[in-house]
A = this chain, B = another copy of it.
Amino acid sequence: MGTALLDRRDLDFLLFDWLGIEALFARPHYAEHSRDTVAAVLDLSERLAADAFLPALRASDRSEPALTADGVALAPEVTAAVRDYIDAGLLAGPFGQDVGGLQLPQLLHYASIGQFMAASLAVAAYPMLTIANARLLAAFGNAAQVEAFALPQIRGQALGTMCLSEPQAGSSLADIRTLALPDGEDALGARHRLHGNKMWISAGDHDITGDIVHLVLARTPGADGKPLPGIKGISLFVVPKHLPDGQANDIAVAGLNHKMGYRGTSNCLLNFGEGRHAPDGAGGAIGWRIGEPGEGLAQMFHMMNEARTGVGLGAAAAGCRGHLLSVEYARGRVQGRTAEGGTTRPAAIIEHADVKHMLLAQKAYAEGALALVLYAARLLDDQLSGDAGTAADAGRLLDLLTPVVKAWPSEYGLAANDLAIQIHGGYGYTRDYDVEQLYRDNRLNPIHEGTTGIQGLDLLGRKVLRDGGAGVAQLRARVEATVAASVADARLAPLARQLEATWQRLGAVVAELASAPAPQALEQATSFLRAFGHAVVGWLWLDMARLCAGDTAFHRGKRAAARWFFAHELPRAALWLDLAATRDDLIASTTQDCFHC
């Protein structure tokens, strides 16, 4: 009881029926894999997530990471779970054979790690970050850096982090102050000594592996010795916990954050170069620049985009597990009565209309979020393995969709977990039921790796308006294809027409915004993000429902969730689009003093 993770029927539907994973195996890049690979990886993941990660869920919450004289100690269940993941060889899954990877389709990798996230977001964060870190190194590092820092992560000898935020610079990365002073060249490249404080570093220290590979954004000095200003002053450095000769680098854990949830992931304030652990007299944590100076932020976004997709997947996965737990609870909990014939009988709450609405909402949110993230993973595969045109198309779409892939699951996976508590009633508010923790764990997702507000600015400002709506037009062609394929089915035709109207309005609003003065166009960026997210997820639901024409329970469930989403949620897109198109003085006239002071 309570051990269901992701619904395997749903994963098989998404991978095989909807996203056509088998088409990938016809491409040279994935030619070594087959339907059997998918089954084997999903079987392994399902089993290991249930056997190793799920038992660590509560332990990770109740025994928080602790700062000891030897560094950060995790609950033994957490350490053991990540080691099991490493031992199963799963870290190598998504990497190319050139770096010792299994070259699995990204779609399969995301479906696999999604099961671990469903079991414990906090534990799954360690492999998720490590894979993204090693991938950045593989993309931008020199051969020596790949050998020294990426391969050990792919093999599971070291785990990785991303060190961006500082106490004074969270959403505003242009304001980071950590300084990297040049210290000559060696076999690993341009050597630097780093000084500064990095905040909110997930997996910043732990006792899972002896070594940790930090990717650190820092500013370099200009010709006048002063830190170079702005974004172009920022470079990226690889800074290992231990130097190649085995000595400890000058990185100190200055403190741990105590969070509402997601507690199993240690979250550190790291001091670089404060001298407590200085390996020599010179001072500063030693690191090597990756790629060219001034490219730090652009390179870091390679990892950040992957982390954002990972956040979306985790939020979706936690939402899905909460849904399965809710279904199980609602089936077993008898409360109140239902009418039958001329009389009444005691009823499981799954029979009550309000509970059905909540379960349909959860299903629409959580399975919709999962579909969105896996759609993005499939685009990643097109980017990696498709012909030039396919790859370019996929890259543009992925670029447009990434803020939605991060934000929509974060908001609605969380909403699904909120409903899980509500369906469980008072029991769901107690720490005896996992839904209580799922909610707390998932609450981080709309915050980290860029808040929902930041995703809105990224979507509207960078992804939609900068190219004059060209990316949106490309996406809309795919929406039109789904609409065209759905109108013939009498059950889906009303949904298809509703979706078409939503996208017409969205197109019109994009055109309006493109001609508006920039600062005011962005005032309602979050409303635009919400509208766009609903328009995209509505499209995906119709596209899935199109393939669920049968009378099986699974098909009827998918169609019911799609109907629920179109009736209850999609109409909100029009309200948000009205807001996005609003030109008034409400924000400008709401001065600080309007709020209590």
* Contact (Cβ within 8 A) B354 A456: yes
- Judge whether A171 is part of the interface by a CB distance below 8 angstroms: yes
Question: Which chain B positions have C-beta within 8 A of A582?
Answer: 567
Q: A356-B590, A421-B443 are in contact. Are A596 and B324 (CB under 8 A)?
A: yes
* Contact (Cβ within 8 A) A426 B453: no
- Judge whether A444 is part of the interface by a CB distance below 8 angstroms: yes
* Contact (Cβ within 8 A) A170 B426: yes
- Judge whether A200 is part of the interface by a CB distance below 8 angstroms: yes
- Judge whether A295 is part of the interface by a CB distance below 8 angstroms: no
* Contact (Cβ within 8 A) A258 B432: yes
- Judge whether A7 is part of the interface by a CB distance below 8 angstroms: yes
* Contact (Cβ within 8 A) A595 B350: yes
Question: Which chain B positions have C-beta within 8 A of A318?
Answer: none
CB distance from A150 to the nearest CB of B (A): 28
CB distance from A428 to the nearest CB of B (A): 8
* Contact (Cβ within 8 A) A560 B594: yes
Cα separation A258 to B571 with both chains bound (whole Å): 39
* Contact (Cβ within 8 A) A335 B593: no
Q: A257-B430, A350-B592 are in contact. Are A579 and B568 (CB under 8 A)?
A: yes
Q: A522-B353, A590-B360 are in contact. Are A259 and B431 (CB under 8 A)?
A: yes
CB distance from A341 to the nearest CB of B (A): 13
Copies in the complex: 2
> CB-nearest residue of chain B relative to A421?
B443
Question: Which chain B positions have C-beta within 8 A of A259?
Answer: 429-431
- Per-position contact with B for A144-169: 1 when CB-CB < 8 Å, else 0? 00000000000000000000010011
- Judge whether A327 is part of the interface by a CB distance below 8 angstroms: yes
Q: A354-B526, A429-B260, A593-B553 are in contact. Are A171 and B327 (CB under 8 A)?
A: no
- Judge whether A241 is part of the interface by a CB distance below 8 angstroms: no
**Which A residues, 556 to 597, have Cβ-Cβ distances below 8 Å to chain B?**
556-557, 560, 563-564, 567-568, 571-572, 575, 578-579, 582, 586-587, 589-597
> CB-nearest residue of chain B relative to A338?
B519
CB distance from A556 to the nearest CB of B (A): 5
* Contact (Cβ within 8 A) B354 A172: no
Cα separation A522 to B260 with both chains bound (whole Å): 37
> CB-nearest residue of chain B relative to A351?
B592
- Per-position contact with B for A436-457: 1 when CB-CB < 8 Å, else 0? 1001100110111001110011
- Judge whether A334 is part of the interface by a CB distance below 8 angstroms: yes
Cα separation A158 to B514 with both chains bound (whole Å): 67
- Judge whether A523 is part of the interface by a CB distance below 8 angstroms: yes
- Judge whether A184 is part of the interface by a CB distance below 8 angstroms: no
Contact pick for A4, options B324, B525, B587, B596, CB 8 Å: B596
* Contact (Cβ within 8 A) B422 A447: yes
- Judge whether A468 is part of the interface by a CB distance below 8 angstroms: no
- Judge whether A21 is part of the interface by a CB distance below 8 angstroms: no
Cα separation A380 to B477 with both chains bound (whole Å): 59
- Per-position contact with B for A287-330: 1 when CB-CB < 8 Å, else 0? 00000000000000000000000000000000000011001000
Contact pick for A525, options B354, B426, B587, CB 8 Å: B354
* Contact (Cβ within 8 A) B353 A452: no
> CB-nearest residue of chain B relative to A564?
B586
Q: A170-B425, A422-B451, A596-B324 are in contact. Are A260 and B430 (CB under 8 A)?
A: yes
* Contact (Cβ within 8 A) A7 B168: no
- Judge whether A331 is part of the interface by a CB distance below 8 angstroms: yes
**Most chain B CB within a 10 A radius of its CB, from A335, A429, A524, A526:** A429
Q: A354-B456, A447-B425 are in contact. Are A172 and B335 (CB under 8 A)?
A: yes
- Judge whether A223 is part of the interface by a CB distance below 8 angstroms: no
CB distance from A529 to the nearest CB of B (A): 10
Question: Which chain B positions have C-beta within 8 A of A553?
Answer: 591, 593-594, 597
Cα separation A334 to B168 with both chains bound (whole Å): 8
- Judge whether A336 is part of the interface by a CB distance below 8 angstroms: yes
- Judge whether A357 is part of the interface by a CB distance below 8 angstroms: yes
- Judge whether A355 is part of the interface by a CB distance below 8 angstroms: yes
Question: Which chain B positions have C-beta within 8 A of A137?
Answer: none
Question: Which chain B positions have C-beta within 8 A of A258?
Answer: 430-432
Contact pick for A452, options B359, B422, B428, B456, CB 8 Å: B422
- Judge whether A198 is part of the interface by a CB distance below 8 angstroms: no
Q: A335-B171, A526-B354 are in contact. Are A557 and B594 (CB under 8 A)?
A: yes
**Which A residues, 331 to 389, have Cβ-Cβ distances below 8 Å to chain B?**
331, 334-337, 339, 346, 348, 350-360, 363
Q: A259-B431, A425-B447 are in contact. Are A327 and B452 (CB under 8 A)?
A: no
**Most chain B CB within a 10 A radius of its CB, from A9, A334, A440, A519:** A440
* Contact (Cβ within 8 A) B444 A260: no
* Contact (Cβ within 8 A) B172 A587: no
Question: Which chain B positions have C-beta within 8 A of A578?
Answer: 571
Question: Which chain B positions have C-beta within 8 A of A358?
Answer: 453
> CB-nearest residue of chain B relative to A350?
B592
Cα separation A350 to B591 with both chains bound (whole Å): 9
Question: Which chain B positions have C-beta within 8 A of A355?
Answer: 453
> CB-nearest residue of chain B relative to A448?
B426
* Contact (Cβ within 8 A) A586 B557: no
Question: Which chain B positions have C-beta within 8 A of A7?
Answer: 596
Question: Which chain B positions have C-beta within 8 A of A563?
Answer: 586
> CB-nearest residue of chain B relative to A9?
B596
19 A–B pairs (Cβ distance < 8 Å), ordered by A: A170-B425, A172-B335, A175-B346, A258-B431, A327-B596, A353-B524, A353-B587, A354-B453, A363-B595, A428-B447, A429-B444, A429-B447, A439-B443, A553-B597, A556-B594, A560-B589, A560-B594, A563-B586, A567-B586
Closest 6 pairs (CB-CB, A-B): A557-B594, A354-B453, A553-B593, A353-B523, A172-B336, A327-B595
